Amino acid sequence: MIIPAPELQAFLHNHQANPHGWLGMHPAKVKKKSGVVVRAFRHGAVKCSVVELDAPGAPAHPMELLAPEGFFEVFIPGKKLFRHQLRYETSWGDIHQVYNAYSFLPSLSEQDLYLFNEGNEHRIYEKLGAHPRMMGDVPGTAFAVWAPAASRVSLMGNFNAWDARYHPMRPLGGSGVWELFVPDVGEGEIYKFAVWDKHGHMRLKTDPYGTRFEAPPNNAAIVCSTRHYQWGDADWLDKRAAAAGNPDRPMSVYEVHLGSWKRNLAEAGRAFTYRELAPLLATYVSEMGFTHIEVMPVAEFPFPGSWGYQVTGYFAPTHRWGTPEDFQFFVDHLHQRGIGIIVDWVPAHFPRDAFALAEFDGTHLYEHADPRLGAHQDWGTLIFNYGRHEVRCFLIASALSWFDRYHIDGVRVDAVASMLYLDYSRKEGEWIPNRYGGRENLEAISFLRQVNDLVHHYYPGALTIAEESTAFPMVSHPTRDGGLGFDYKWNMGMMHDTLMYFQKDAIHRKWSHDKLTFGMVYQYSERFISVYSHDEVVHLKGSMLTKMGAGSHGDKAATLRSLYGFIWLYPGKKLLFMGGEFGQGREWNYDASLEWDLLQYPEHEGLRLLVRDLNKLYLGDPVLSTTDYRPESFRWVNASDGDQSVLSFLRLDPAGKSTYLVMGNFTPMTRTRYNVGVPSGGYWREVLNTNAIFYNGAGFGNHGGKQASTAPADGYEHSLSLTLPGLSVLVFKWTAEG
């Protein structure tokens, strides 16, 4: 035996932290004879020999079995390093010939590691994790994981019977990265990392950079390449790039939870797969006139009740609805049908699950050690350490990977407010001020600016959207101007105000008239998206329909129609959570289909038809869809008639060729001969009436339009005398051609 007994025992008892120093082939001198020594550790092998690949026909070199666990060694005198394979026989008589995993150079370069430690390897997802590849002419998989405080790391999987002794990984200098290329391990193999901390305690961890995962409770990563799929969306991507830098593009978004939008009732209500959903969802969204869908998080997550917001696989589409290639098909199909896709992305926090990121190498690697910085009080989750270069690199790479691998069109960044403030949802004494004594999380702010700039740099035309609920300034302004760099920001204030208004009984709305008008005070401070998301229809808040302040079902439907009419004509891009478009009756349930059977009833089908027609109206005229962020395109006509709960405003064509008048009457009382001022004489055509019979309304209106009179009103020289049906929004259009 040439290997020192303590080193052999280190292998046999999982104490060896430098496997490449002993396993594989090494120059050696034994009894003054020069040659090479070859060592191998093969699970289940009882015999093993070394085969010279460049000397066909040469006899194999039998190896000595030093331990029954399968540790072999041989000294071959007079030889220099040569290409070889191992031929081994198992106890059940099988014979295999394989490459030695410990005869390959590292799969990562010093430059890769330097950029990663510096935080500037933007595509580190191509280096860390598991990647099928060729090393020379040898196929296999390169594995790499960041665990700087680990005393040793081993690769485990079916290919080594989940025995951590057989594939210990090599540390790559001071980078904190451990690496191993394993020949003949290919796609479909499941694996985890055994990570020992400095005290010798082992943690079995799944791959932070994994591209595919098996289902809980095992949660192992699966070797998977995302480069096989043949995309057909080149035209879409070209058009997207051509629109780069244009925030005025039309956008009406349908927010979707893929597991509960619609289910296969013929098969016990199982969830549809990505491939099954693609044509169903594309057809529906196209018919409804939405430009994009936004999917709640599809990155891998273990607990369905988190709806995907507690992520454990930041680079992998969840297994629940198919494979990564299936998700690629889903996106590709949407693009070829003219529909964009935005994905919810969650860099604000991660769960404490022992198999994932938490205390990954026995230290607080991805999270802050101090719970005043590293623990979310509300959600029981952990907060990323945005000041650590490798953590920023991980998160930036996650965002970029979804654009690269899956061609998504945008990310909606979840819980941005919780990232921006160190005292978010904390009492005095529960948080640590920044270096200037303030409450802003400077590292998180810097990270958000960096990731936004990099998304826009690498993927022109791609969008970043902030769910941000505070008055933090310049969220949707470019970083060069001191902003955070997002393209858009969710208008949480407008959402809360309008819901508060429409939840009141109509008789009390006059006391809250300002809830409809106050939003214009800050409307043009950001590029807002008007949103009614999933958050508004969970946790006993009721559905959009049931929360409307009205007694009868019909009045609730009419009230919701008027809310949609108001918000679709109000400046800002649009977002509506699934089910809201047809008046879902119950709160959203992530584990069941929407109530599609309600469409047989006129109130619900009428709502759906209205949302469809609002989208068509919005998209059909640039006056409505490309002037959302131009203050000169909006003007109140009468914003002070709270006593009658009537509101009126204009949407103006910058070229002066057309004007829209929007009238809202938010009580059940029909108002006749209501005078409203208009800026132009001539005919004002009624282009939409939420009270139309077609939408299950009463059908009261203005017979298709009105001729303006010369009677002055509201500061204008012309006016219209209108019938305003109860609980309705009416839209009139004037054109220069008459």
Q: Which sequence positions are flagged as catalytic?
A: 414, 467
Distance CA(148)–CA(177), nearest Å, equals 7
Alpha-carbon gap, residue 571 to 524, rounded angstroms: 9
Please compute Rg for the chain using Cα positions: 32
DSSP code string of 362-429: SS-SSB-SSHHHHB-TTTS-B-B-TTSHHHHHHHHHHHHHHHHHH---EEEETTHHHHHBTTTT--TT
Element (H, E) at 613: helix 602-620
> Buried (b) or exposed (e) across 345-366, using 16+ Cβ within 10 A?
bbbbbbbebebbbbbbbbebbb
The total of other beta-carbon atoms located within 10 Å of residue 208's CB is 25
- Alpha-carbon 659 to chain mean position: 38
**CA-CA distance, 662 to 731, in Å (whole number)?**
5
Burial (Cβ within 10 Å: 0-12, 13-18, ≥19) of residue 721: middle
Residue 403 has φ and ψ, to the nearest 5°, of: -75, -40
Bridge-based pairing state of the strands 488-490 and 463-466: parallel
Tokens encoding 235? 């035209």
Q: 700 to each of 678, 695, 722, how far by Cα in Å? A: 21, 12, 11
- Taking Cα atoms as reference points, which of 290, 361, 279, 278 lies closest to residue 321? 278
DSSP summary character for residue 586: S
Distance of CA 212 to the CA centre of its chain: 15
The letter for the amino acid at 415 is A
Nearest to 312 by CA among 177, 205, 204: 205
Helix residue spans in 222-346 (DSSP H): 234-242, 274-288, 324-336
Give the type of residue at 147. Answer: A
Please give the Cα distance from 246 to 573 (Å, whole number): 13
Q: How many Å apart are CA 711 and CA 676, to the nearest integer?
A: 10
Alpha-carbon gap, residue 467 to 528, rounded angstroms: 10
